[in-house]
Structure 1
Amino acid sequence: MMLNIAAIVIGIMILIWSSDQFVEGAASIARKLGVSQLIIGMTIVSIGTSAPEIVVSVMAALDGAGNLAVGNALGSNIANISLVLGITLLVAPLLLRSSYLNREFPLLFGVTVIGAILVVDGELDLFDGLVLLACLALALTKMARDAQQDNLIAEELTADHAAEMSASYPWLRFIGGALLLVASSRALVWGAANIADTLGVSELIIGLTIIAIGTSLPELAASVASAKKGHAEIALGNVLGSNLFNLLAVLPIPGLLAPLVLDTSVLTRDYPVMLALTALLGLALYLTFRQARAQQKPPIMGRVWGVILLLCSVCYYTALIIDTGYGL
């Protein structure tokens, strides 16, 4: 058991670190090859933030643990909204911009609904994976067009990721990061699968909890740090972007590599919870903007929403504990 726990803890630590190195190396190489900073920010860096989830899902699918990969994708989205955003809101309220309500959220919610339609038959197969990848291509195209039309978005993308695009020793970071990503994800999946067998719980539960929360730690750390520096609004953008890529770049992987029959809990518990949390986030955005217009004040999402999201988190993870048979 201790060896399995060590594999998970060390695997997550190396996974997070190597992901950063891989993204910084790839972005720097692309810049030296003449790729525009905007395109780098929209593709390599944006998708790269989901690199841990992507590589873990690949390894899980290849090992025949497809439901662990599904749990990783859905669990990360649930953790991002309920834990990451909830905690960040308690640290500092979020000053919203209109594009969150008018552009980014509708895109995420639409993709979440499409995903629900695809998995409602209880399977995740090649067709489902291809549809989600096609949606990813369309989403990237739309985001690139929006960024070109919105100078603020373009400036933010290039400024936020300037460090990644000018990293030293780019090839060493790129190749070394890629190798460590594979090795650490292999160790993580191995340890997680063994713990699932030892405890007698499903791989889905392990993916929803240990792996999902572990791979969401960078988003939590970055969001809290941004909030403390007075840039809490960055957290919402990170959550919306990360959740979008988890659905379009992580969830398709099991279907593409090893089509599977989904654990029934995905349809009766986990996907509905993710969909409900996404809808709740949309409601929070709408009510915040409506109140701001009525009071003629800036739209600020307050700490009360942080409390609500954290309560949702407590309820969900309590339900998971009860479902495993370890609840009182």
Structure 2
Amino acid sequence: MLFVWILVFIFSLVLLIKSADWLIESGEKIGLAIKIPPFIIGVTIIAIGTSLPELASSLAAVIKGQTELVVANMIGSNIANILLIIGISSLFAKTLIVKRDLIDLDSPLLIAVTGIFLFVVWDKKIVLAEGLLLIAAFVVYLLYTIFQKRDKIKKPKLDIDKKGKQIDKKVFVFLVLGIVGLLVAANYTIDSMVKIAEIFKIPSSLIAVTALAIGTSLPELVVSAKAAFKKRYEIALGNIFGSNIFNILLVAGVPSLIKPLIVEESIFVVGVPFLVLATLIFVISGISKKIHFWEGLMYVLIYILFILNICGAV
């Protein structure tokens, strides 16, 4: 039975990620076809889309009454994004070059958002008012990004007719498939995770902060590792900045509008400090404008230390 639930978890995770891709791509094409400016699509549909797997699984967890999984998943995903993905990306590239925009604009934003998160989880729960605060911060961040970066976002290549009035029917098919796939996959991801936790007699939040977090971070890993290998450093690093900010503000904010989110003791004692540590290391590394091979190795080793600590804390 354990083997079956592990297979269900893996398959659901793959479907979750693929469904998010379908939803992003179809949303992109529809947005441009109805003449929404490309830069707005870039910082809304595409940016929010990178957090869809985490958001969908978190909403499913809240609906099923597993509110403790939301913050565990979000914290685990953000730690994996920095320590594991940036670490692996720098091992691929040998050296990651940090652009000035990331130092001057994105780093302060990431620190500010992490600070807001610390404020709302200090009492080990996120209630409605705090969720509204996170979402308000997200709106401010979104508007800031639109006005600051609109000239730098390139228009995606789209399969739309020359008149720009018609949309291929397949786009709507994939839009529906993406929505349905997200709903189904998120549901079974949470169900299988809870069942696996019951079989092993461990908290389901442990799986959320490790396996689920790594799984939902796979799209970021692929994007950043490929970009680093091709020396597209701004994509490799910018992808992580954006994803972590969206995860904190949306993945923790939206579900808390439905039910108050509980932060388990082990997640608060181990996960929160490691999230702060990872964020500070990331920002400090960026100040030197380079993340070297040895720093990437250090990132990965710290991530392993995090896994060992979180497993020992439950």
User: Structure 2 length normalisation: TM-score?
Assistant: 0.93
Deviation at 1:163, TM superposition (A): 5.2
- For residue 88 of structure 1, what is the amino acid of its counterpart? S
Please say if 1:136 is aligned against 2:138. Answer: yes
Structure 2: 5+ residue stretches without partners: 162-166
Q: Is the 8 A contact 1:224 1:232 kept in 2?
A: no
Please say if 1:275 is aligned against 2:270. Answer: no
Deviation at 1:164, TM superposition (A): 9.1
1:291: which partner in 2? none
- For residue 2 of structure 1, what is the amino acid of its counterpart? F
Deviation at 1:185, TM superposition (A): 0.9
2:119: which partner in 1? 117
Deviation string, structure 1 residues 206-262 (Cα, Å, up to 9, x no partner) = 110111001111111222222222323321111100000000110113321111332
1:96: which partner in 2? 98
1:315 pairs with one of 291, 305, 312: 305
2:204: which partner in 1? 203
Query: Given the superposition, is the C-alpha separation of residues 261 and 53 from structure 1 closer, same or farther in structure 2, using an over 3 Å criterion?
Result: closer
Distance in 1 of aligned mates of 2:38 and 2:14: 29
Distance in 2 of aligned mates of 1:220 and 1:128: 30
Deviation at 1:54, TM superposition (A): 0.7
Q: Is the 8 A contact 1:24 1:164 kept in 2?
A: no
1:162 pairs with one of 157, 164, 168: 157
- For residue 111 of structure 2, what is the amino acid of its counterpart? F
Q: Which 4+ stretches in 1 moved above 6 angstroms?
A: 164-167
1:227: which partner in 2? 228
Please say if 1:32 is aligned against 2:27. Answer: no
Aligned residue runs from structure 1 range 57-72, under 5 A: 57-72=58-73
* Secondary structure, counterpart of 2:254 in structure 1: helix
2:164: which partner in 1? none
Query: Given the superposition, is the C-alpha separation of residues 10 and 146 from structure 1 closer, same or farther in structure 2, using an over 3 Å criterion?
Result: same
Deviation at 1:268, TM superposition (A): 1.4
Q: Is the 8 A contact 2:98 2:233 kept in 1?
A: no
Deviation string, structure 1 residues 129-160 (Cα, Å, up to 9, x no partner) = 11000000000010111013xx3x233xx3xx
2:21: which partner in 1? 20
Compare the two structures and name the one with the higher helix fraction.
Answer: 1
Distance in 1 of aligned mates of 2:218 and 2:125: 29
In the alignment of these two chains, the number of paired residues is 306
Structure 1: 5+ residue stretches without partners: 289-298
Distance in 1 of aligned mates of 2:278 and 2:96: 18
- For residue 90 of structure 1, what is the amino acid of its counterpart? L
Distance in 2 of aligned mates of 1:164 and 1:239: 28
